[in-house]
Amino acid sequence: MEESKIQDIEISLFLDALLQRHGYDFGNYAKASIKRRVLGLASAQCQSVAELIPRLLHEEDYLAEVISQLSVPVSAMFRDPPVFKTLRETVLPLLKTYPRINVWQAGCATGEEVFSLVIMLEEEGLLERTQIYATDINDIVLHKAEDGIFPMRNLAEYERNYKSAGGKAMFSDYYIANDEFFRIHEHLRQKIVFAHHNLVSDGVFCEVQLILCRNVLIYFNDELQKRVLNLFHKSLVRNGFLCLGTRESLRAVEAQHIFTVHNQECMIFHNQGILS
Amino acid sequence: MRASILHKNERCQPGSQNIEAVVIGCSAGGLDALRVVLGGLPIGFPATVIIVAHTAPGGDNLLPSLLAKTCRLPVSEAQERESALSGQVYVAPPDYHLLIETNRTFALSVDERVCFVRPSIDVLFQSAADAYGERLFGLILTGANCDGAQGLKSIKEAGGVTLVQDPVGAYADTMPKAAIATGAVDKVLQLNDLAGEILSRI
């Protein structure tokens, strides 16, 4: 049998162990990417994926590390500046009409995008009446995000992004720094509740006006993508906003008939009031 | 491993298999090289062509329209969940890895950079090797980076055919040289001969 086919068996056994032992279901993740990640986890630690299974079953602490490797920790502040600019110019003015605003970022990873959002809300005078929820399945990155500490090496890129996203002040107004790291100011960090939430298995936990979920659904198969879009639909107020990644598939979203396009380039949608 | 596959399917030489897809990777100098290779493919070319070219992240993806000018086949950016069709050329979007699933639909990822780049040639090639097995051509063109070498090796291991642009005469020779160094390359050819070689084996 080809090595690759043997690997497929190992990965399927590994994911089954993860589900049966810990209740995490990666069965509806897009196959090619999850395979890459599991192989990456194995190659860093041992000869084969099969060797990971005993650890997963018997070492209690190993789970967090596995989840961390299998979820996406990559992001940047104001990633895709035109998207943040559009949110600022066309979505935030509509959020202003609500006395209280709730925002949810699903799949926040290390927090770069949610802090970008907080900075915009602050500049638009909305932060005081906004509650922000940032969720992920990866507890390790959630703790990092909560700390709000980022490496200085990315700062130049973030400053450029901030400017092209329509930043009204100086990016340096929002952090303190030493040689290696910068940390987002406490009054901004305090506005965010970081919480564990699994889009595969958890349900609605609040009613929100805006959901940011960028480059998360690309890792899900059609069935799971549908489940999550339905979850977003139920979590959003009527005419609430959903912002997806710029290269995510529009067709699947439209097929839901529960979202209409607000801005196609930036992948921002309106929630329709009709329950499917 | 390879011998047994060939025996089972009664196929006698690499390349005689029914090729379903051609995956191409390039970096520095890639646009001109791609124009030459794609320019040699006729209308009705009976396979899918999928390209990863290292480009700067952000902004619009100009590559499809630039390539379309000299290519007889339709060229577009690969979209998430889209089916990969025969006779079409697909290009990876900037700043996303492009993968192909076993059901021949495209998938994107924002996983970490591989060989310092995203999209990475290795990521596409390895997923394509899984999806297409022996019914795949892998081609490495000019580039100043080692990306693609591991991917080409995976294609070879899965029974596919591997081609590399001759580093002598390439705009940048690092990438072809790295690919050749894996020992998994079937043929090294001058740029002008690559399209002909592909057609002769399809």
Domains of chain A: 3-70 (no CATH), 81-147+186-271 (3.40.50.150)
Query: Into how many domains does chain B fold?
Result: 1
Domain assignment of residue B39, yes or no: yes
Which of B107, B127, B158 has the CB atom closest to A218's CB atom? B107
Model pLDDT, residue B1:
39
Token pair 């999209």 in the structure block, residue = B119
> Angle at which helices B121-132 and B149-157 pack, to 10 degrees?
10
- The verdict on whether B60 is a catalytic residue reads no
The sign of the torsion formed by the CA atoms of A216, A222, A227, A233 equals positive
Partners of A10 on chain B (C-beta within 8 Å) are: none
Residue B12 pLDDT greater than 50, yes or no:
no
- Under the banding of pLDDT at 50, 70 and 90, the label for residue B55 is confident
Residue B118 pLDDT greater than 50, yes or no:
yes
Give bridge partners of residue A31 from the DSSP assignment. none
Which of A2, A75, A249 has the CB atom closest to B81's CB atom? A249
Partners of A2 on chain B (C-beta within 8 Å) are: 1, 5, 133, 158
Cα(B97)–Cα(B87) distance, rounded to whole angstroms?
Answer: 22
Between B13 and B200, the more confident residue is B200
Model pLDDT, residue B15:
45
3-state SS class at B193: helix
Which of B79, B93, B101 has the CB atom closest to A32's CB atom? B101
- Choose among A248, A245, A242: nearest CA to A271: A242
3-state SS class at A214: coil
pLDDT (tens, 9 = 90+) of chain A, 276 residues, equals 888 889 999 999 999 999 999 999 999 999 999 999 999 999 988 899 999 999 999 999 999 999 999 986 678 999 999 999 999 999 999 999 999 999 999 999 999 999 999 999 999 999 999 999 999 999 999 999 999 999 999 999 999 999 999 999 999 999 999 999 999 999 999 999 999 999 999 999 999 999 999 999 999 999 999 999 999 999 999 999 999 999 998 676 666 688 989 999 999 999 986 554
- Under the banding of pLDDT at 50, 70 and 90, the label for residue B16 is low
Partners of B117 on chain A (C-beta within 8 Å) are: none
Domain assignment of residue B199, yes or no: no
Which of B58, B127, B158 has the CB atom closest to A32's CB atom? B127
Domain assignment of residue B116, yes or no: yes
Nearest C-alpha of chain B: how many angstroms from A249? 5
In this complex, is the C-beta atom of A63 within 8 Å of any C-beta atom belonging to chain B? no
Which of B109, B112, B130 has the CB atom closest to A219's CB atom? B109
Domain with B42 in it: 13-190
Nearest C-alpha of chain B: how many angstroms from A3? 9
Cα(A147)–Cα(A155) distance, rounded to whole angstroms?
Answer: 17
Model pLDDT, residue A4:
84
- The verdict on whether B32 is a catalytic residue reads no
Q: Which of B61, B81, B112 is the best residue to mutate to test the A interface, defined by the most A CB atoms within 10 Å of its own CB?
A: B81
Residue B16 phi, psi dihedral angles, 5° rounding: -80, -10
For residues A63-94, one letter each, b for 16 or more C-beta atoms within 10 angstroms of the residue's C-beta and e for the rest, the string is beebbebbbbbebbbbbbbbbbbbbbeebbee
Question: Domain containing B17 — which CATH number?
Answer: 3.40.50.180
Strands of A220-263, DSSP E: 236-244, 259-263
Partners of A251 on chain B (C-beta within 8 Å) are: 81
- Choose among B81, B51, B48: nearest CA to B67: B51
Model pLDDT, residue B5:
41
Whole-structure pTM value: 0.92
Model pLDDT, residue B111:
92
In this prediction the ipTM stands at 0.92
Are the beta carbons of B80 and A218 separated by less than 8 Å? yes
**Residue A123 in contact with residue A169, Cβ under 8 Å?**
yes
- The verdict on whether B147 is a catalytic residue reads yes
Domain assignment of residue B49, yes or no: yes
Are the beta carbons of B123 and A36 separated by less than 8 Å? yes
Domain assignment of residue B197, yes or no: no
Tokens of B37: 């290779």
Q: Which of A6, A31, A154 is the best residue to mutate to test the B interface, defined by the most B CB atoms within 10 Å of its own CB?
A: A31
Instruction: Write the single-letter amino acid at A228.
Output: V
Nearest C-alpha of chain B: how many angstroms from A267? 14
Domain assignment of residue B196, yes or no: no
Q: Are strands A208-213 and A101-106 parallel, antiparallel or unpaired?
A: parallel
Residue B2 pLDDT greater than 70, yes or no:
no
Nearest C-alpha of chain B: how many angstroms from A103? 23
Instruction: State which residue of chain A sits closest to B112, comparing Cα positions.
Output: A74
Domain assignment of residue B35, yes or no: yes
Domain assignment of residue B110, yes or no: yes
Q: What is the mean pLDDT of residues B47-70?
A: 88
Model pLDDT, residue B7:
41
Mean of all residue pLDDT scores within chain B: 91
Q: Which of A11, A33, A70, A72 is the best residue to mutate to test the B interface, defined by the most B CB atoms within 10 Å of its own CB?
A: A33
What are the DSSP calls for A152-181, one per residue?
A: GGGHHHHHHHHHHTT-SS-GGGGEEE-SSE
For the ranges A3-7, A165-169, B13-17, B59-63, the lowest mean pLDDT is seen at B13-17
